[in-house]
Amino acid sequence: MTQLVFAVKHAFPELRRRLEENVFFFNKEGYGVSIAEKTVDGWPHLSVDIQGKNGAPAAPLLRRRLAEVLADYIMEGSVLPYLSEILEQHYFYFPRHERCEIIDLSEKIWHRERGKEGFLRTQVLSQLEEYLGRQDYLNIHGLLVFRLEKWQAALRRCLDQAVDEFLMEKEYQEFIRLLKYFVQLQEPKVYQVHVALDRQGNLVLLDQDYNYIEEQGESADWDDLTGDRDDFLINTLIAVAPRKIVLHRQVQSQYPKAADTLKHIFEKRVSLCRRCKICQEATGIINLKGKH
């Protein structure tokens, strides 16, 4: 009989679940497998007892299979507690509720980017195969901390990215809050603004009677605003402060960032048009009452 023992520090139930899911594979190969838990010197341990055919020790194939199970556990099931440890070490100054948000975001980033980190699993699996090929005892925490520097570095990159995104979102929300307050103080200059596109694909702002809004002024030449059109549209509407804003279909699809920001700033004042006369025949209406 062969007994393989794994010492763990985090996510113990997750590891046991993964091992138990593979018992069927081991038994199918003619081995008797049992899994037991115990605590040694304060550390949880999992022991995998493998009774080989005719008393033979566990074959290399089974050790490789165990290495694959452990590799998947490390790449998926043990990420959260180590992200939390890194956060406590390097970003301890964030309030607790913000740390929780950062951890959730960093975990999402890890799973989102994991496909690009395929070499990490290969490295982890290689280390596990090498170690289990000659040893029956493995301290998984020690392996992660002292042998898998690239794995630790990848976690740190995800956490750093999460912090950056969190701070950007926080700054954005504060910006939106200030703009909402400013809009509330503004006296509306027009009742309604239609935001549409002309036949050249330029943004146009029309009032409720489909006339060009004077505040648009010389900005009708959108060719000079490449890269700044979203900001210019938002600033213009804030200056006009209409009671109602109708975003027409083409605007929503071509300027999603501006549309989303306007919905946050003006909230219920914004309505989204899916299919109307302006969307279908905008050029005719605009050219009749606007510029040719």
183 located within any domain: no
Provide the 8-state DSSP code for 6.
Answer: E
**pLDDT tens track for 40-50:** 888 888 888 87
Same domain, 164 and 222: no
Which residues constitute the domain of residue 166? 2-178
User: CA-to-CA distance for 230 and 199, rounded, in angstroms?
Assistant: 19
Number of domains in the chain: 2
Q: How confident is the model at residue 201 (pLDDT cuts 50, 70, 90)?
A: confident
261 located within any domain: yes
pLDDT at 32: 78
pLDDT at 49: 82
H-only helix segments in the chain: 12-21, 23-28, 60-72, 79-90, 96-113, 118-132, 140-146, 149-185, 229-240, 249-254, 256-266, 277-289
* CATH code (residue 265): 3.30.420
C-beta separation of 87 from 95 below 8 A: no
Same domain, 140 and 234: no
User: CA-to-CA distance for 31 and 37, rounded, in angstroms?
Assistant: 20
Q: Would you state the structure tokens that stand for residue 127, as one six-digit string?
A: 């280390």
User: CA-to-CA distance for 244 and 191, rounded, in angstroms?
Assistant: 6
Contacts of 160 (CB under 8 A, 6+ apart): none
11 located within any domain: yes
Q: How confident is the model at residue 217 (pLDDT cuts 50, 70, 90)?
A: very low
C-beta separation of 159 from 106 below 8 A: yes
Same domain, 80 and 135: yes
Q: Kindly report each contact of residues 180-183 with a partner whose C-beta sits within 8 Å and lies 24 or more positions away, as own/partner.
A: 180/264, 180/265, 180/267, 182/238, 183/238, 183/241, 183/265, 183/266
Residue 200 burial (10 A CB sphere; 0-12, 13-18, 19+) = exposed
Single out the residue in 138, 156, 178 at which a domain terminates: 178
185 located within any domain: no
**pLDDT tens track for 242-254:** 999 998 878 888 8
Average pLDDT, the chain: 82
Residue that wins the pLDDT comparison between 33 and 160 = 160
User: CA-to-CA distance for 189 and 253, rounded, in angstroms?
Assistant: 27
Same domain, 145 and 233: no
Same domain, 157 and 43: yes
- The single residue listed with the structure tokens 């000659």 is 134
User: CA-to-CA distance for 53 and 51, rounded, in angstroms?
Assistant: 7
pLDDT at 31: 72
C-beta separation of 86 from 94 below 8 A: no
Residue that wins the pLDDT comparison between 292 and 46 = 46
| pLDDT of 269 strictly over 80 | yes
Q: How confident is the model at residue 224 (pLDDT cuts 50, 70, 90)?
A: low
Same domain, 131 and 81: yes
Same domain, 278 and 151: no
80 located within any domain: yes
pLDDT at 283: 46
Same domain, 55 and 135: yes
pLDDT at 58: 60
| pLDDT of 183 strictly over 80 | yes
C-beta separation of 95 from 40 below 8 A: no
43 located within any domain: yes
- The single residue listed with the structure tokens 């289990």 is 132
**pLDDT tens track for 127-181:** 999 988 888 899 999 998 888 888 999 999 999 999 999 999 999 999 999 999 9
Least Cα distance to 142 among 276, 7, 268, 27 occurs for 7
Single out the residue in 130, 154, 178 at which a domain terminates: 178
Same domain, 107 and 210: no
Q: How confident is the model at residue 290 (pLDDT cuts 50, 70, 90)?
A: very low
Cα four-point dihedral sign 240, 244, 248, 253: positive
**pLDDT tens track for 55-106:** 555 667 788 888 999 998 998 888 898 999 999 999 999 999 999 999 999 9
186 located within any domain: no
Single out the residue in 178, 206, 236 at which a domain terminates: 178
